[in-house]
Amino acid sequence: MIADRVPDPRLRIDPADLGLAPLSRVFFRRDTIAVARGLLGAWISRRWRGRWYGARIVETEAYLGPKDRAAHSWNGRRTPRVEPMYADGGHLYVFFVYGMHSCANVVTRPAGIAEAVLLRAAEGPDGAPPRLLSGPGKLCAALGITTRESGLDLLSRGPVRVFRRRGRPRAVGVSPRIGVDYAGEAAKWPLRFFDRESAAVSGGKTR
């Protein structure tokens, strides 16, 4: 059985009340590292049964396509699972790992260039447990995102959207990516970005 797809009620938000506007296609088509950094502070949001749920992104990782051994599109790999990575910037790519977890990515660059940003951690609204979304699997579980949502366009006014941040993080940390030790040289690339002031960041903050 695939992970729960019901969002955690403690993540209820009202995008209108928060005064949030969606990020644009142009934003997502930019350089992948710029998008990974730019997503810190943005709100990943999910509509389910007419209600909205959301959290502020505090940790991301960039995956740089065919030249990046850690990326699912490494060496030009193009299978049904990875196909959404080849879509236009602003699409969602969700994959299933370890038999129990979903991980959500935002696709970057124009169509045909298979790069993406993994959403690793987020903070819920006031009142939500600080570590409810502290990890890519937990983030998806808390927002009810599964592979059924893979391939969705974040800009089609659909059930998954990303809203612009209101405040840039004061201090951004950088480190190698987590869990990609098999990727040779690419495992050392400094492609993980996080808000140093957030308690929701997964794993160690240093390196």
Partner DNA sequence: CACATGATCGCCT
Partner DNA sequence: GGCGATCATGTGG
Point out which residues bind DNA (CB under 7 A).
Answer: 1-2, 61, 63, 70-73, 77, 79-82, 85, 93, 95-101, 103, 105, 116, 118, 135-139, 147, 177-180, 182, 202, 204
- CB nearer to DNA: give 50 or 79: 79
- CB nearer to DNA: give 23 or 107: 107
Smallest distance from DNA to CB 13, Å: 21
Complex with DNA: residue 2 or 21, whichever CB lies closer: 2
Distance CA 116, CA 108 (A): 5
Q: How far is the CB of 180 from DNA (least distance, A)?
A: 5
Q: Give 118's strand partners.
A: 61, 105
> Do the bridges between strand 160-163 and strand 133-134 make them parallel or antiparallel, or are there none, so unpaired?
unpaired
Task: Return the structure tokens found at 159.
Answer: 């059930």
Q: How far is the CB of 169 from DNA (least distance, A)?
A: 20
Nearer to DNA, 15 or 88 (CB): 88
Q: Give, in order, the Cα–Cα distances in Å from 87 to each of 83, 124, 164, 201.
A: 7, 29, 21, 28
Minimum CB–partner distance for residue 56 and DNA (Å) = 16
Q: What's the min distance (Å) between Cβ of 49 and DNA? A: 24
HSE at residue 195, side-chain half, CA atoms within 13 A, is 25
Residue 85 DSSP SS3? helix
Comparing CB distances to DNA, the nearer of 29 and 77 is: 77
d(CA 57, CA 200): 9
3-class DSSP assignment, residue 116? strand
Q: What is the largest CA-CA distance in the chain?
A: 46
Q: How far is the CB of 14 from DNA (least distance, A)?
A: 26
Structure tokens at 194: 């996080």
Question: Please, which residue, 21 or 100, has the CB nearer to DNA?
Answer: 100
